[in-house]
C-alpha cells in the first residue's frame, strides 16, 4: 500500500484549492453599497404591489419589461425583452420576443412567461375589461397557475388601472405574442414600458408556496438576481452572469436602508457606501465640497402640484383658483430652495409624450396684479382657505408651503396652514378642505398615465370629491379610447386648458428632481427617473 507523505498531502491540498482561488481572483468586480431612505414601501419587491418611486428604483435591477425606456437619453421606448413590435390594429400589438434570454433560475424566457405575467393568476384575478360601461364576461373557468396561493385582493385593481382594457395575451409562437385589448388603445406600447409590466418567471411563481414568498424574491431576467431581502433593512443582489445584455459590472449590489439623510451622507463620506440616494437639494453643496464626491441626477418624470377642492366655498369661483396660480413665483422657489436644479414645466406634461406634447403651453405666469384683479372680480373678501400640509412628505414641502402662503398673502389670499400627520387626515371630508400638495407622475409616455389617472373620472381627485368637470371627464374618455391621434392631441390640449386655466383642478408648481451622491471615480449616470441603471453600459470604475 502506497503512503502519502505530509509534504505530498500539503501539495495535493494546495492543488485542490487552486481553481477556487483562481475563480475568486478572476472575478474582480466590485461590491457596491447604495444607501437609500427606503427600499420598499410595501415590504415586497413585486412591482404591482410596490407601485412607488422606490419600487421604480429597484425594479429594473432584477426585472425587465418587454419595452424599456432609454434611461440615458430622452426616455424613448427601446427594445428590451421584445426586439420589435408592430400594430396589427387599434386593439392589437404583436411583439417579437428576444431569443436566448435566461431567467435567474436558468429557465429560458418564452411567450409562456409573457402570457402568464399578464394573465389572471398574476395580475387580474377575476376582473375583466370594461367596455362602454359593461364588464366583459369571465373568459376562463379557473385561474391557472394560482395553485394554493392567491394574489392579494388589492393587486387586480392596481393591474386594471394600468391595463384597464387588456383582454388577453395570445401566444403566436414560442417567441411571438399578441396583446389584444378590448377597446382601441394607442397607448399599449407605453403601458408595456410602465412599472407593473415586468415579466415574471412562470415556473418560479407557481412553485412559490405563497404569493408573499414570490413577492419577496421575484425571479426575473434583469442583470442582477436577488440573494437576500430583509424588509426595512437590506436588499442584496448578485450579478446574473447569463444576462442577455452583457456580464453585469458589479459582483454584488447591496441596498441598505438608512432613513436619516445625515447618516447616508456620512456613510458615503466615510467610504461605507459608494452611492447615497435621496439627497435633498440643500445638501448638494455640502457633498460637493469634497472633491472626491459628486451629485448626479436632476429632473424626473414627476411634477409637484397644488390641488384645489373646488367645492370649498371660497374656491367655487374658478377665478379664485386661477389667482392662486398667478400669485406663485415658481422660479423664485426653484432658485431659493432647489439651487436652480429643476424647472417650471409646461403644465402637466413631459417632452417624452412625443407627439402628444402640447407645444406652446405654459404654466400660469407669475402676475400678482392679474391675481389681485381676479380676486376682485370674483368678489373674494379674504375669508380663510385651509391648506392641509404634511411635514416634508415631498422634498422641501414645508419651506415651499411657507413661501407660497406668503406669495398668496401678497395678492390678498388668506391661506391658513394646517399641519396633518398623514394622508387620511389630508383627505378627511369631515371639515372643509381647501388646497393641498400633491405630485403627478408620468407612468408612461401618454397623458392617460398622468392627467387622466389623477383627475379623470376614476382618478383620486374625482373619487375624493375634490374635482369634477363634465367636459373634462368626456375628454378623458376620448384620450382613453380614441385611436385618432390628432383628436387625442386636441382633447389633451383642451383638458390642459380646463384643468389649469378655466376651471382649475390644480396648478403646477415645479418639476420634481431626485439627487444621488456618489464617488466621483465611479463612472455612472443617473437617469431622468427614479430607476437606477447598473448595467455594463452605465457603470465602470
Cell of residue 174, nine digits: 414560442
In whole angstroms, how far apart are CA 307 and each of 89, 236, 387, 439, 539?
38, 39, 10, 9, 40
Kindly state whether residue 258 participates in binding another protein, applying the rule CB under 8 A: yes
Cβ closer to another protein: 402 or 463? 463
430 touches another protein (CB under 8 A): no
Contact 28, 36 (CB under 8 A): no
Q: What angle do CA 19, 25, 31 make, to 5 degrees?
A: 135
Q: How far apart are CB 194 and another protein at their closest, in Å?
A: 14
Q: Does 392 bind another protein (CB under 8 A)?
A: no
Greatest CA separation found in the chain? Answer: 111
Q: Which of 2, 270, 430, 431 touches another protein by CB under 8 A? A: 270
H helix runs in 380-421, sequence order: 397-410
Q: Which residue in 260, 351, 377, 484 binds another protein (CB under 8 A)?
A: 260
Q: For residue 501, give the DSSP letter.
A: I
Question: Residue 55 is placed in which grid cell?
Answer: 419600487
Nearer to another protein, 380 or 387 (CB): 387
DSSP helix/strand/coil, 242: coil
Q: Rule CB under 8 A: which of 148-187 touch another protein?
A: 152-155, 157-158, 160-161
Query: Which of 51/77 has CB closer to another protein?
Result: 51
Q: Which DSSP category does 363 fall into?
A: P
Q: Binding of another protein at residue 463 (CB under 8 A)?
A: yes
Residue 449 neighbours by CB under 8 Å, 6+ apart: 187, 190, 191, 194, 442, 443
- Asked if 256 touches another protein (CB under 8 A), the answer is yes
Q: What's the closest the beta carbon of residue 460 comes to another protein, in angstroms?
A: 6
User: Is 42 a binder of another protein (CB under 8 A)?
Assistant: yes
Determine which residue in the list 2, 5, 25, 424 makes contact with another protein, applying CB under 8 A: 424
Among 8, 41, 83, 105, interactor with another protein by CB under 8 A: 41
For position 431 contacting another protein by CB under 8 A, the verdict is no
Do 60 and 67 contact (CB within 8 A), yes or no?
no
Interface pick for another protein out of 74, 105, 134, 233 (rule CB under 8 A): 233
Which of 236, 242, 417, 460 contacts another protein by CB under 8 A? 460
Distance CA 434, CA 428 (A): 11
The contact mask relative to another protein for 201-220 (x = CB under 8 A, - = no) is -----------x--------
Residue selected from 72, 86, 230, 487 as contacting another protein according to rule CB under 8 A: 230
Quickly list DSSP for 510-534.
EEEEEEEEEETTSEE---SSS----
**Residue 457 makes contact with another protein by CB under 8 A:** no
- What share of residues in the chain are helix, strand, coil (percent, to 5)? 35, 25, 45
Closer Cβ to another protein, 41 or 74, answer by number: 41
**For the chain, how big is the Rg over CA atoms in Å?**
26
* C-alpha grid cell, residue 263: 447618516
Residues that bind another protein (CB under 8 A): 35, 41-43, 51-52, 152-155, 157-158, 160-161, 212, 230-234, 256-260, 262-263, 266-267, 269-272, 421-427, 454, 458, 460, 463
Amino acid at each position: 500500500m502506497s503512503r502519502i507523505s505530509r509534504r505530498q498531502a500539503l501539495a495535493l491540498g494546495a492543488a485542490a484549492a487552486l481553481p477556487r482561488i483562481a475563480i475568486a481572483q478572476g472575478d474582480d468586480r466590485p461590491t457596491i453599497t447604495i444607501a437609500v431612505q427606503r427600499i420598499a414601501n410595501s415590504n415586497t419587491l413585486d412591482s404591482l404591489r410596490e407601485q412607488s418611486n422606490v419600487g421604480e428604483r429597484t425594479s429594473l435591477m432584477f426585472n425587465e419589461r418587454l419595452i424599456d425606456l432609454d434611461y440615458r437619453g430622452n426616455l424613448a421606448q427601446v427594445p428590451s425583452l421584445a426586439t420589435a413590435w408592430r400594430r396589427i390594429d387599434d386593439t392589437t400589438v404583436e411583439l417579437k420576443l428576444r431569443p436566448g434570454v435566461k431567467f435567474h433560475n436558468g429557465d429560458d424566457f418564452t411567450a409562456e412567461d409573457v402570457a402568464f405575467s399578464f394573465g389572471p393568476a398574476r395580475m387580474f384575478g377575476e376582473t375583466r375589461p370594461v367596455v362602454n360601461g359593461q364588464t366583459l364576461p369571465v373568459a376562463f373557468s379557473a385561474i391557472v397557475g394560482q395553485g394554493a396561493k392567491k394574489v392579494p385582493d388589492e393587486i387586480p385593481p392596481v393591474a386594471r388601472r394600468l391595463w384597464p382594457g387588456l383582454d388577453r395575451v395570445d401566444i403566436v409562437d414560442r417567441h411571438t405574442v399578441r396583446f389584444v385589448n378590448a377597446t382601441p388603445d394607442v397607448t399599449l406600447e407605453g403601458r408595456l414600458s410602465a412599472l407593473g409590466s415586468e415579466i415574471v418567471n412562470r415556473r418560479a411563481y407557481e412553485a412559490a408556496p405563497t404569493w408573499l414568498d414570490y413577492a419577496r424574491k421575484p425571479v426575473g431576467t434583469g442583470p442582477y438576481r436577488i440573494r437576500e431581502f430583509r424588509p426595512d433593512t437590506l436588499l442584496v443582489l448578485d450579478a446574473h452572469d447569463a444576462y442577455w445584455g452583457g456580464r453585469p459590472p458589479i459582483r454584488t449590489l447591496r441596498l441598505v436602508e438608512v432613513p436619516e439623510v445625515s447618516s447616508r451622507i456620512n456613510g458615503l463620506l466615510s467610504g461605507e457606501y459608494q452611492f447615497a440616494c435621496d439627497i435633498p437639494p440643500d445638501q448638494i453643496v455640502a457633498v460637493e465640497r469634497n472633491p472626491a464626491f459628486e451629485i448626479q441626477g436632476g429632473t424626473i418624470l414627476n411634477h409637484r402640484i397644488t390641488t384645489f377642492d373646488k367645492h370649498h366655498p371660497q374656491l367655487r369661483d374658478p377665478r379664485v383658483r386661477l389667482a392662486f396660480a398667478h400669485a406663485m413665483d415658481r422660479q423664485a422657489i426653484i432658485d431659493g430652495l432647489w439651487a436652480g436644479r429643476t424647472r417650471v414645466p409646461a403644465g402637466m406634461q413631459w417632452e417624452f409624450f412625443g407627439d402628444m406634447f402640447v407645444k406652446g403651453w405654459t404654466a400660469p405666469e407669475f402676475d400678482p396684479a392679474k391675481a389681485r384683479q381676479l380676486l376682485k372680480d370674483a368678489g373674494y373678501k379674504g375669508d380663510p382657505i385651509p391648506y392641509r400640509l404634511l411635514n416634508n412628505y415631498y422634498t422641501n414641502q414645508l419651506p415651499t408651503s411657507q413661501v407660497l402662503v406668503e406669495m398668496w398673502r401678497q395678492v390678498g389670499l388668506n391661506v391658513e396652514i394646517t399641519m396633518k400627520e398623514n394622508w387620511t387626515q389630508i383627505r378627511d371630508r369631515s371639515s372643509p378642505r381647501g388646497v393641498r400638495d400633491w405630485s403627478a407622475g408620468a407612468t408612461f409616455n401618454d397623458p392617460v398615465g398622468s392627467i387622466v389617472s389623477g383627475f379623470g373620472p376614476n382618478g383620486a381627485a374625482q373619487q375624493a370629491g375634490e374635482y369634477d368637470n363634465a367636459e373634462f371627464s368626456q375628454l378623458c374618455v376620448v384620450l382613453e379610447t380614441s385611436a385618432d391621434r390628432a383628436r387625442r392631441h386636441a382633447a389633451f390640449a383642451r383638458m390642459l386648458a380646463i384643468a389649469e386655466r378655466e376651471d382649475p383642478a390644480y396648478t403646477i408648481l415645479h418639476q420634481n428632481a431626485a439627487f444621488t451622491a456618489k464617488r466621483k471615480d465611479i463612472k455612472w449616470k443617473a437617469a431622468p427617473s427614479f430607476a437606477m441603471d447598473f448595467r455594463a453600459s452605465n457603470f465602470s470604475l
